[in-house]
Amino acid sequence: MNKNKETYDGVRYNRSALMVVILLGAFCIIMNQTLLITAYPTIMKDLNISLSTVQWLTTLFLLVSGITIPLSAYLMKQIKSKYLFLTALNLFLMGVLICYFGPTFKYLLFGRLLQGIASGIMLPLIQTIVLTLFQKNERGTAMGFVGLVVALAPAIGPTLSGYIITYFNWKTLFLITIPLILLSEIGALLFFKVSIPLKQSKLDIPSVFLSIIGFGSLLYSISLASTKGWLSKEVIVLLFIGCAVIISFIVRELKISNPLLNLKVFSYSTFSVSVFLSAISYIALLGFESILPDYIQKVHLESPIDSGLILLPGSIVMGLMNPVTGKLFDRFGGRFLIPIGLTLLSLGTFPFLFITETTPILFIAIFYAIRLLGISMVLMPVTTTGMNALPNDMISNGTATNNTLRQIASSFGTAVLVTFLSSHAQATPTQSLAIGSSTLAIKESLEVTDYRHAFAMAFVFCIVALISSLIIFRKKGSNTKKREKKE
């Protein structure tokens, strides 16, 4: 990281400048995931649409992004990194312009579709570029800077959105990203002189269709489960279709010579372990984050802007700590760092099991920050651990596979906690409360109890991840000692 000029595949380039360029492009696209959420009420009013309709702006974005990620592994091997990066930025820019100038909700939805495609290409691409250009003993630090962007961008989105909506038209949200996109494109033209090694192969069309139908059905069924429940007919049918098609996809990928995703990455045990820990950690992280703002707004009656500001310090801690934990990873590895991070995540989650209507906001902000401090010691280190186990020619498949499963895990975690919250709310009997309580007190008591139970579910995921990491790394430590004795 401290060298300006590096050589890769015989080409000299400015590695620091290239990092700034790709991280700037990633920041624009990742921030866009949460930029519109605060604006939903205003958009609903202006376009005269319902809540279930406006939520498609996020659902479609995440759905299309999840479908595109498996295809990214193939694209990275067919198109030079510079041109694929510019393609993603231009798709995103087109989506922004369509959203801004579009007169109806259909245009807004189409613009978000293009942005979802750009997102599905961008994150696996920048991770693969970073992992390819940096040596194994430098990857932790480099991925730490990627983690800084991944943490800060979505955290800034709702706060920035709330400010803009207060003083400007909601369509201004789309304009603010344009200068950053253009700056990133200019930087790519100037500094993007190297590329991930290409390997031309024929695209297997059946694999593409199986991937789209399988992952699309699975992600959509999970998103529906948060509103319709896991036992609804529609969710069960889509889950069955998604799982059945994904199994067919896996069987085909293992048989053909030109797979869309090379699933042989799972033959590397360290990579498989890292994907497992990453998925559970994401369930614990994003499921929790999906309901905490709701608790702050409904129980403490804070505005969306204020709830974003309450949680912002924790996101800043996570963002700033990512480069630090990256350096610690390069020095000590993930064997000790990851269990410590998961311990902090569990300790930061546990107090939320005892929240009340009068829990101080400072209490929420502090323990939320502890959670994200723990996450900063887990997500990028566990990803880097897995990728370091792969040969360079399989890294693009590794990043695409890891990001696909992470997308599914984050959707699953959110759906589980949201459905757990709503189903428990419906099942909680009001008769169990004291007869003398007022209607408002009953409602508040039920609400807080439901949130406590949902937070308890998040705590269970944290403990599962922690225990798994302790078992896994203990076994790996034992195996290492046995090999040393033999030698």
**Per-residue confidence (pLDDT) for residue 437, from 0 to 100:** 41
Domain residue limits at 252: 204-259
My answer on whether 442 and 455 are in the same domain is yes
222 within 8 A of 412, measured Cβ to Cβ: yes
**Per-residue confidence (pLDDT) for residue 142, from 0 to 100:** 86
My answer on whether 219 and 96 are in the same domain is no
**Sign of the dihedral defined by the CA atoms of residues 311, 313, 58, 463, in that order:** negative
Q: How many domains does the chain have?
A: 3
Alpha-carbon distance of 397 to 132, in angstroms, equals: 12
Q: Is residue 302 part of a domain?
A: yes
Question: Please, what is the end-to-end C-alpha distance for the chain in angstroms?
Answer: 35
> Which pair of tokens denotes residue 197?
């090694």
Alpha-carbon distance of 66 to 81, in angstroms, equals: 20
My answer on whether 6 and 153 are in the same domain is yes
Backbone angles phi, psi at 12, to 5 degrees: -85, 140
My answer on whether 272 and 250 are in the same domain is no
- Planar angle of CA 179, 122, 375, nearest 5 degrees: 100
My answer on whether 149 and 213 are in the same domain is no
Burial of 4 (0-12, 13-18, 19+ CB in 10 A): exposed
My answer on whether 312 and 250 are in the same domain is no
**Per-residue confidence (pLDDT) for residue 421, from 0 to 100:** 67
Alpha-carbon distance of 55 to 177, in angstroms, equals: 21
Alpha-carbon distance of 72 to 278, in angstroms, equals: 20
My answer on whether 232 and 340 are in the same domain is no
Backbone angles phi, psi at 437, to 5 degrees: -70, 150
Q: Is residue 487 part of a domain?
A: no
Give mean pLDDT in consecutive 10-residue pieces for the chain, a chain of 487 residues: 64 86 89 76 82 77 86 89 94 94 90 92 90 86 83 74 79 88 93 84 89 88 78 90 93 88 86 85 74 80 76 83 87 85 92 88 91 87 87 86 82 72 50 40 58 85 86 62 41
> Which pair of tokens denotes residue 433?
């409360």
My answer on whether 113 and 192 are in the same domain is yes
Last residue of a domain, one of 200, 216, 251: 200
Place of tokens 């869309």: 260
Q: 318-333 b/e with 16+ CB inside 10 Å = b?
A: bbebbbebbebbbeeb
Alpha-carbon distance of 453 to 431, in angstroms, equals: 19
My answer on whether 383 and 267 are in the same domain is yes
Q: What share of the chain is helix, strand, coil (3-state, %, to 5)?
A: 85, 0, 15
Q: Is residue 100 part of a domain?
A: yes
Q: Is residue 360 part of a domain?
A: yes
My answer on whether 227 and 268 are in the same domain is no
Please report, as a single letter, which amino acid is at residue 394: M
- CB-side neighbour CA atoms (13 Å) of 315: 20
My answer on whether 272 and 289 are in the same domain is yes
My answer on whether 187 and 278 are in the same domain is no
CATH number at residue 412: 1.20.1250.20
Last residue of a domain, one of 200, 221, 243: 200
Q: Is residue 473 part of a domain?
A: yes
Q: Is residue 486 part of a domain?
A: no
Q: State which H helix or E strand residue 360 sits in.
A: none
